[in-house]
Amino acid sequence: MRTLLVDPFFTGSHQAWAQGYQRFSHLRVRLATLPGRHWKWRMFGGAVNLAQQYAEEKWDPDLILATDMLDLTTFLALTRPHSARTPVALYFHENQITYPWSPTDDDPRLERNHQYGFLNYTSALAADAVLFNSHFHHTSFLEALPEFLRQYPDRRNMENIERIVLKSQVLPLGLDLRHFDDHYVTAEAGHPPVVLWNHRWEYDKDPDSFFRLLFRLQDEGIDFRLVVLGTSYGASPPIFEEARERLRDRIDHWGYATSAAEYARWLWRADLLPVTSRQDFFGISVVEAIYCNCLPLLPQRLAYPEHVPPKRFPECFYETEEELYAKLKKNLQHPATLRQLSPLRELVSRYDWRNLASVYDDLFMRLWMQKGIPLRPG
């Protein structure tokens, strides 16, 4: 079965996901992509360029797997001679209806922000199957649609929401977690516990709350080391520079890891991951850290309870920032209790591609069979 994976924002987690599925799938997966930059332009213009690629390559797939960054309606319109009968699955890594906007972005103030969400909405209407990377993402997107459509003056077609609901389901994100095993390192004996940040340097991850916790711990004389990883797109929140200066004597590493191997080694060295994010549709960085036996301290919301059951592991969750601080401080003062986390590692192992690729394959085969179209040769 020939599958064309179309993504106009091919970088970071999008790239890793696409290449991971291509590597571990038993289907023939080909990628049609554009470089991952200028995300707003990619959402509007990417479909035109990718439709041209589709026509030039003359490789007609049995199924099209598109991501949320693609204007799927435009792509299908421009490829209609070849794609009219081809089943299409739309995969939501994120969405622009519920994603929080950066305070430095002018689009919300100028009321230009709704157009990106509308592209997600029409793409979902055009797809045969709508797939979300977590139950939280699935629920929050569908629940946000009524209010989103009510902002328009008339002919809102609210009945379309049910059409999207009926063809929507959760398909967890696949990750190559086992590659972390190749770079395992043991923590240094007698070394103070290591606190980890391994997320994007963005406002939606709430770095201000994270570093405020560490400033308090430092002021109280609590011993810890700090590893700050993750990518930065453009101007980072100012708290990062402040933290780098105020915590300079505690920093073991600061900045983007130069290789996957280096990133993995730092995760294995880390002990505690206090998560302050306001938005996470899945939480790749959290899952990766848990897999490397780093104890997570998670808000009891977003997608995190899907990874770690709160009733089974209440010590991993908090409701308020004060509760987070208390749990972080307690763990730092009793480091012997850390790294006894094999159950958590086992829980997130289900996201490894070696376990998920066949789930993807089976779903796409069923979608193709529902169309009743013969497989293309080759």
Distance CA(207)–CA(301), nearest Å, equals 17
Give the pLDDT of residue 247.
Answer: 99
Both tokens assigned to 241:
């520079």
Decide: 360 and 171 in contact? Cβ < 8 Å: yes
H or E element in which residue 225 lies: strand 225-228
Does 131 score more than 70 pLDDT?
Answer: yes
pLDDT greater at residue 82 or residue 356: 356
Does 2 score more than 50 pLDDT?
Answer: yes
**How much is the average pLDDT of 117-125?**
98
Decide: 202 and 171 in contact? Cβ < 8 Å: no
Give the pLDDT of residue 335.
Answer: 85
Give the pLDDT of residue 188.
Answer: 75
**How much is the average pLDDT of 179-200?**
92
Band of pLDDT at residue 343, cut at 50, 70 and 90: confident
Q: Is the dihedral of CA 15, 16, 18, 23 positive or negative?
A: positive
Decide: 32 and 87 in contact? Cβ < 8 Å: no
Q: What's the Rg (C-alpha) of the chain?
A: 22
CA distances in angstroms from 187 to 22, 266, 333, listed in the order given: 34, 10, 17
Query: Among all chains, which residue has been given the structure tokens 């929140």?
Result: 237
Does 102 score more than 70 pLDDT?
Answer: no
- Rounded to the nearest integer, the mean pLDDT of the chain is 94
CA distances in angstroms from 297 to 68, 140, 231, 272, 346, listed in the order given: 30, 23, 21, 7, 17
pLDDT tens readout for residues 206-240: 999 999 999 999 999 999 999 999 988 778 999 99
Band of pLDDT at residue 111, cut at 50, 70 and 90: low
Distance CA(274)–CA(270), nearest Å, equals 11
Band of pLDDT at residue 246, cut at 50, 70 and 90: very high
Does 104 score more than 70 pLDDT?
Answer: no
Distance CA(376)–CA(59), nearest Å, equals 10
Distance CA(175)–CA(18), nearest Å, equals 10
Band of pLDDT at residue 101, cut at 50, 70 and 90: low
SS3 state of residue 90: strand
Question: Could you tell me what percent of the chain has a pLDDT over 90?
Answer: 87
Band of pLDDT at residue 244, cut at 50, 70 and 90: very high
Q: List the beta bridge partners of residue 132.
A: 92, 170
pLDDT greater at residue 370 or residue 73: 73
Does 95 score more than 90 pLDDT?
Answer: yes
pLDDT tens readout for residues 268-319: 999 999 999 999 999 999 999 999 999 999 999 999 999 999 999 999 999 9
**How much is the average pLDDT of 113-132?**
95
Decide: 256 and 232 in contact? Cβ < 8 Å: yes
Both tokens assigned to 107:
């689009």
Query: Per the confidence metrics, is the pTM higher than 0.85?
Result: yes
Give the pLDDT of residue 72.
Answer: 99
Give the pLDDT of residue 324.
Answer: 99
Distance CA(217)–CA(314), nearest Å, equals 22
The alpha carbon torsion through 311, 315, 316, 317 (nearest 10 deg) reads 70
Domains in the chain: ranges and CATH: 2-174+353-371 (3.40.50.2000), 177-351 (3.40.50.2000)
**How much is the average pLDDT of 138-147?**
98
Q: List the beta bridge partners of residue 228.
A: 197, 254
Band of pLDDT at residue 78, cut at 50, 70 and 90: very high
